[in-house]
Copies of this chain bind each other. A is one copy, B any other.
């Protein structure tokens, strides 16, 4: 840490900085310039924050040099974190790019099973779907809750696809963890520290979405909340940030993908559905996500987007999704990754007949 004094800071003020630093166990190196004095702190500073120094009289500002995240940092662990599901058939963080797909909300048993079959046929490896939905309005549909989880589980049983679904409260963590394969923390809850601690105490993989105005550094610190509670299976999902631009739903910050791959060992997921909010932009930005180095994608697919209760505007049809998967495979290969081929022998007709029945 470097503490920069104001021009004209007194010897007493500089002394107070040095005294505080030494009390905290650091060595100090004051440097007396023409215009200002700077005090450099040396030693193990991981537990030391800028705040006590910022508050001292005569201090202009402080600069932290060592990053405050420990467990999520690539310098702490150089090799990629690998997260395995379904007995190793689904691996995040390796050469394969995993595609997760499904509707925004689980709307009915038929809807989720139909979608699960469709996305599996196109090559998706994980089924997404919301049972508990965070909604801006208390008067909007809030999800089917437990019933939604049961439908997801049935869809998994039929297709073999592991599932990912959002958990919104500490109280429902055990219930959701019982059903799902991956716990999703939504953007609004990125800094809901109680919830982060609760999922940190489970043994389920967690996908942590970036908050609407979360910086990359804050986001990594939120991952740190999960990791430091004992759960090392964390992946980070870029889903767009809030900026002044309103032509798209969010500004999809793809810079975050290579930045995090440099800074952290955790797998990175890209969500072009929320990142754009517009169905017609999703294919281009899904391809861009793969090219930028994402380890996985999460995409909204709905059998009939016109009838979706939420996010229909950004949902792909199954046909669009199938075409996109073909296109994505080509881009993956061009960046020395791959997306697994779609299974050849699915006989879904029978299941669908029963479900639609």
Interface residues of A (CB under 8 A from B): 2, 4, 7, 16, 29, 31-36, 38, 40, 42-44, 46-47, 49, 51-52, 54-57, 60, 63, 65-66, 68, 70, 75, 134-140, 168-171, 188-189, 191-194, 211-213, 215-218, 221, 224-225, 228, 241-248, 251-255, 257-259, 261-262, 275-276, 278, 280-281, 284-285, 287-293, 305-313, 315, 327, 330-331, 333-335
Chain B's closest residue to A139 (CB) is B47
Shortest CB distance A323–B (Å) = 13
The answer to whether B246 touches A246 (Cβ under 8 A) is: yes
CB within 8 A of A2: which of B38, B169, B188, B333? B38
Kindly list chain B residues whose C-beta atoms are within 8 Å of the C-beta of A309. Answer: 51-52
The answer to whether B259 touches A248 (Cβ under 8 A) is: yes
Chain B's closest residue to A59 (CB) is B313
Kindly list chain B residues whose C-beta atoms are within 8 Å of the C-beta of A169. Answer: 170, 194
A-B pairs with the 3 shortest C-beta distances?
Answer: A55-B312, A213-B213, A258-B284
The answer to whether A65 touches B36 (Cβ under 8 A) is: yes
Q: Name 11 A/B residue pairs within 8 A (Cβ), A-sorted.
A: A29-B31, A34-B44, A52-B312, A55-B305, A138-B221, A171-B194, A216-B245, A248-B259, A288-B291, A290-B291, A327-B335
The answer to whether A49 touches B140 (Cβ under 8 A) is: yes
Chain B's closest residue to A253 (CB) is B251
CB within 8 A of A188: which of B40, B43, B191? B191
Interface centre among A245, A275, A331 (most CB of B within 10 A): A245
CB within 8 A of A66: which of B36, B54, B257? B36
Shortest CB distance A283–B (Å) = 8
CB within 8 A of A215: which of B35, B247, B253, B293? B247
Kindly list chain B residues whose C-beta atoms are within 8 Å of the C-beta of A47. Answer: 139
The answer to whether A52 touches B307 (Cβ under 8 A) is: yes
A7 to B78, CA, bound (A): 13
Kindly list chain B residues whose C-beta atoms are within 8 Å of the C-beta of A44. Answer: 34
CB within 8 A of A168: which of B4, B194, B252? B194
CB within 8 A of A245: which of B54, B241, B287, B307? B241
CB within 8 A of A281: which of B70, B259, B331? B259
Kindly list chain B residues whose C-beta atoms are within 8 Å of the C-beta of A213. Answer: 211-213, 242, 244
CB within 8 A of A313: which of B34, B54, B245, B262? B54
Chain B's closest residue to A135 (CB) is B193
Shortest CB distance A347–B (Å) = 31
CB within 8 A of A287: which of B168, B218, B224, B291? B291
The answer to whether A54 touches B312 (Cβ under 8 A) is: yes
The answer to whether A193 touches B217 (Cβ under 8 A) is: no
CB within 8 A of A284: which of B215, B253, B293, B310? B293
Kindly list chain B residues whose C-beta atoms are within 8 Å of the C-beta of A333. Answer: 334
A9 to B7, CA, bound (A): 31
CB within 8 A of A251: which of B139, B243, B247? B243
Kindly list chain B residues whose C-beta atoms are within 8 Å of the C-beta of A4. Answer: 2, 63, 65
Chain B's closest residue to A196 (CB) is B138
Kindly list chain B residues whose C-beta atoms are within 8 Å of the C-beta of A140. Answer: 49
